[in-house]
Chains A and B, each alone.
Chain A
């Protein structure tokens, strides 16, 4: 063993004759927690002393401090390789915190401000016969509108999207498939207001129909379709080719192979994808504003007359700007978030229930 290369390393313990020890001086395991605690204390305390009141400023100071202190401490006690490692780790943690803090703050604000008004009365009443500054009223008409519009949009977009994805993965070859892929990509990037304007020009101005939930759901379907195509495509590509070959080799025609082997195998993922697309369009405001128009009364018929929808309700109530309506806006926002989250949970449930069972390969 050539130990002369390592003799200048700090040695803490180890039998003297057995060559260089593998042990190094280490910081105790609770050091990172202490560093964070101290830097947050310094950030908040020092910031307040210097007159920087903003929480953002104080947070940034604390983050910067914790990275610097970590580096200094580690390079003093351990070695430079460990110091670099620790700095990378702490930068990752700081980024994680920077991503999570706004999310938690958003959820917290919505829940704390929306929960006081959100009850059975709020969910079961409309804004019919109310002046704008009155307290009370509810979200029922908007919730009903959102469910109907999103439901209709899904009925239009999901089958088309699913079949498009089946075409692209199972049948599409050559120019046509390339063109379809290209246009799906382009559609993914369409701003929602453009989809709304398209339906407005085609359906309302061109064909002369008035605003309705159905007009809105057409725009939502345009926005939803590429998302469904993309997610379904990915799921179908995950199905091993061997399963298709196994089925074909049994003398099963291709369309039955797709229907009975490929689609059931990927059904869980497809359902998740569709649900996520639904969640995405449930929060769309711009096309709804143009095409559904808004209505304080309950209109259960999506095919005739203006309707309300949750995002539109939130926008309108917030715009009114008095205490009662702003409370209603927060409660409406909470309803929307809860609805979307429920759909997400449902999608996960379906995915787990439908996933191929038994030991994986």
Chain B
């Protein structure tokens, strides 16, 4: 695959939102997230405990920490994907601007349309072509006009830096692409529904360094339009792409994960205020 010329097309969201049911036609799409007192359970097991933090709009926030400390769980609570797991249950509040995602009358489906997600392993729909994969979110929601669809697909693929590689084979199956291309296809699919927040769960852990670089460049471009939260095990990656970094840890195996600190990425990586963070970052853990 070609590394993809980093031709930045960060046209700020000048386009009018073409969705038919935007709750509010906002010109700034990105929103801020405030988490307060959030505890998540798997059945009787407490996975994360009493987490309070905030995610700034139009910036990249990285979650780092050892395996099993609840980074991914926290990420999944942010668009109500946690409760899809059998036994998944949440206490506490997640405010998207001024709306509680766990309010009684909130529809989880609407939440997921507003807050998109990219998963660890690229997962394009195997029965669909590249075009259909990108269009899937709009089509499956029955929320599109045929004429606009071509434009949205092109714009999303360009937004994911994939257009030049696939424009001649949009009808081919998406599973025929390389791993890195598939992951960018998944990002294109996620941004096609024009979410306000993009959650990424270790998006590069299954990719080679070149594809990782392509995705990291892409994250840098996307943050001008979206609020991005990324979970990563790669400390250098967190340092490269994120503006703010949150460090999570668990006191012992089987104990719930906790937020140790969240701060500007530069501070976390130069002089964090908690000793455990420094130990973890410098590899002197445990």
Residues of B with C-beta under 8 A to A264? 127
Q: Is B86 an interface residue (CB 8 A)?
A: yes
Q: Is A261 in contact with B125, judged by CB distance below 8 angstroms?
A: yes
Q: Mark A17-28, 1 if CB is under 8 A from B, else 0.
A: 000000000000
Contact status A248-B112, CB under 8 Å? yes
> Nearest Cβ in chain A — how far from B91, in angstroms?
21
Size of A's binding interface in residues, CB under 8 A: 26
Query: Is the beta-carbon distance between A256 and B140 smaller than 8 angstroms?
Result: yes
Q: How far is the CB of B214 from chain A (nearest CB, A)?
A: 19
Minimum CB–CB distance from A354 to chain B (whole Å) comes to 8
Q: Which residues of A contact B84 (CB under 8 A)?
A: 244-245, 248
- The CB with the most chain A CB atoms within 10 A, among B79, B112, B114, B119, is that of B112
- Partner of A265 from B109, B116, B127, B193 at Cβ < 8 Å: B127
Q: Contact: A250 with B140, CB < 8 Å?
A: yes
B193 near A251: Cβ-Cβ < 8 Å: yes
- Choose, from B53-61, B173-181, B226-234, the stretch at the interface: B173-181
Which residues on B sit within 8 Å (CB–CB) of A251?
Answer: 109-114, 137, 141, 193
Q: Are A242 and B176 touching (Cβ within 8 A)?
A: no
Is the C-beta of B136 less than 8 angstroms from some C-beta in chain A?
yes
Q: What is the bound-complex CA distance between A357 and B125, given in angstroms? A: 10
**In whole angstroms, what is the CA distance A347 to B112 when docked?**
38
| Chain A residues closer than 8 Å to B186, beta-carbon distance | 246
Cross-chain contact of A358 among B123, B173, B190 (Cβ < 8 A):
B173
For residue A101, CB closer than 8 A to chain B, the reply is no
Q: Which residues of A contact B173 (CB under 8 A)?
A: 356-358
Assembly CA distance A356 to B125 (angstroms): 9
**CB-CB contacts of A246-264 with B at 8 A, as 1s and 0s?**
1111111100110011001
Which B residues are within 8 Å of any A CB, using their own CB?
79, 81, 84, 86, 109-114, 116-117, 119, 121, 123-127, 136-137, 140-141, 172-176, 186, 189-190, 193
- Nearest first, the 8 closest Cβ-Cβ pairs linking A and B are A251-B113, A358-B173, A356-B126, A358-B176, A250-B137, A249-B117, A358-B175, A251-B112
- 5 further interface pairs, Cβ-Cβ under 8 Å (given A240-B123, A246-B124, A251-B109): A173-B86, A242-B121, A245-B119, A248-B81, A251-B137
